Structure 1
Amino acid sequence: MSMVAVLMLQAALPGMGFDLHAVDPQAPCKTGTSEEIVVCGSRHEDEKYRLRPLPPGAYEIRPPVARIGVLGDGNLSVEGETHALAGGVSSNRLMLRLTKPF
């Protein structure tokens, strides 16, 4: 019942309108009181959409790499390898590598 009253009240009262065309894009955003909500808008063409295109290659499928920097400029990594042996048998390996540039 109260929902019907709210809908009737909302239909009876005029809505608050606002227009972003009236906002000066060069003016700094004003601060309001603690009871006000301040919204700053932009009508620049390059800011028309909030989502930007992703950089190329950002989400290419790559094998996971477990690597951490140690000993200054060295790296410690864990890698999985598969090596083919004679007779068609494969050898699965887990390698722990410590590398340090010269």
Structure 2
Amino acid sequence: MATLTYVYADSTAVLGPLATYAEPHCYDLCAEHAERLTAPRGWEVVRLATDSAPLRRSSDDLEALANAVREAARPQERGPRPVRGGDGDPTEAGRRGHLRVLRSPDN
């Protein structure tokens, strides 16, 4: 895999190692497309050395991913917070996420 960046002022397409963060004018390419890349007429392609060895994932990566998924799936422990009306009675009967159940003022 490689990242393609255009330098319009120099009419140059730069193909280098995979970028570590996203930029507006960078495009990530798979190995096959990076190898077959051509530039428009009058442009130059600069190919920077890339580490073509496949990345090997360690068990630490898999364990960290599993822990993150478990943490995200864990329910939040918080009860409904009643909203007090002017006379001190709770007007909120329950809460689920961003939705609230309000008691009728007649009750």
Per the normalisation by structure 1, the TM-score is 0.23
Per the normalisation by structure 2, the TM-score is 0.22
Higher RCO (C-alpha under 8 Å, 6+ residues apart): 2
